Structure 1
Amino acid sequence: MGTRDRIIDAAEQALQEFGLVGATTKRIARQAGCSEALLYKHFPGKEALLLAVLLERLPALGPALVRLRKNVGHGDVAAGLTDFTVTAVEFYTRVAGIASGVLADPSLMAGFRRMLAEIGTGPHTPIRVLAEILAEEQRAGRIDAGLDADAAAAMLMGACFHRANLSFFAEPSDDTRAWAAAIVGTLLRR
């Protein structure tokens, strides 16, 4: 494993153990077995390191969306959307600590927003892509043509985000997969 990967792994571990404030670059470098100077050779700032953790280590929504898109027109739409929904809940649950810390620090948030804009992504991206996939399934005749794909995608992602956040305050009373299947079933009801 290369130095960059060790740093990202150490950052993810430090974020889980100490939260955003406690996951200092000094602590991350020490856990990665490198100097802080070497950490900064790989990452220009903490924002870039956080983005690397988000994009490279957390259960990614991108591959789940790619799987959905590959199955447009064939396969079980409900099963594919249910799998995606479970992944989205897992993603939002794992990203909550980073997101809340970034939101609480205006300078970190400003840097993070700039970086997301530069690479053309952000929290809106999976919603837009999911809406495109839903529209493709509509054109394939597998989802009700009357469904507002943009609203449906926003509602599905919003429900995932909400469930993830609620899980920090109370244990869900049902299984995430069963919940996801119920949400998708409601979305696809004709």
Structure 2
Amino acid sequence: MRTRDRIIDAAEQAIREFGIAGATTKRIAHLAGCSEALLYKHFAGKEALFLAVLLERLPALAPALARLRLSAGQGDLAAHLTEFALMALEFYRKAAGIASGVLADPSLMAGFRGMLAEREAGPHLPIRALAEILRAEQRGGRLDEVMDADAAAAMLMGACFHRANLSYFVELPDEDGLWAAAIVRTLVRK
């Protein structure tokens, strides 16, 4: 395994075990079996390392969006959107540890925002992509043409984000599939 990959794996492990505040570069380097200097040879700072964990280790929304885009106009739209919602829910659950830690640290958040802007990345992009897919389905007559695709995409992603966060505070019934199907049914009514 490449050193960079070992460092990212160690950072993910440190975040899971100790939270963002406890995921120090010293601890990450120790878990990766390298020096802090080597860690900084691969990453400019903690922000870059945490962004790499988010982009490279968590279940990505891009493949789920690509599958949804490819299925536009074909098959069971509600089933495709439900599958996407379940992937978004999994992403938000796994990203919560990093996201909450980044939000709690103003300097880390500032660095993270700068990196997202530099890369033209951010949490708004999956919502934008989902809205485009919903518009394509509207043009194909599979969704109500009056529906606001931007609002529907934001509501679907927001519902997934909310459920993921709730699961940290209360015990939710193990019914993610039923929940996602109900949310989608509400959005795709014609």
**What's the TM-score bracket when you normalise by the shorter of the two chains?**
over 0.9
Gap regions ≥5 residues in structure 2: none
Deviations 1:64-91 (A, max 9, x none): 1111111111122111110110111111
Could you say what secondary structure the match of 2:109 adopts? Answer: helix
Q: Which position in structure 2 is the counterpart of 1:14?
A: 14
Summarize the alignment of residues 17-96 of structure 1 with structure 2, pairs less than 5 Å apart: 17-96=17-96
- 1:5 to 2:5 alignment: yes
Gap regions ≥5 residues in structure 1: none
- 1:176 to 2:176 alignment: yes
Size of the aligned set, in residue pairs, is 190
Which of structure 1's runs of 4+ aligned residues deviate more than 4 A?
Answer: none
Letter in 1 for 2:158: G
Provide the TM-score with structure 1 as the length reference: 0.98
Letter in 1 for 2:93: T
Identity value in percent: 74
User: Alpha-carbon deviation of 1:174?
Assistant: 4.6
Could you say what secondary structure the match of 1:18 adopts? Answer: helix
User: Alpha-carbon deviation of 1:142?
Assistant: 1.3
User: Alpha-carbon deviation of 1:146?
Assistant: 1.4
Deviations 1:20-39 (A, max 9, x none): 01111111111111111111
Counterpart-to-counterpart distance in 2, 1:149 and 1:75 = 20
- 1:151 to 2:151 alignment: yes
Deviations 1:88-113 (A, max 9, x none): 11111111111111111111000000
Provide the TM-score with structure 2 as the length reference: 0.98
Counterpart-to-counterpart distance in 1, 2:35 and 2:176 = 41
User: Alpha-carbon deviation of 1:172?
Assistant: 1.1
Letter in 2 for 1:90: E
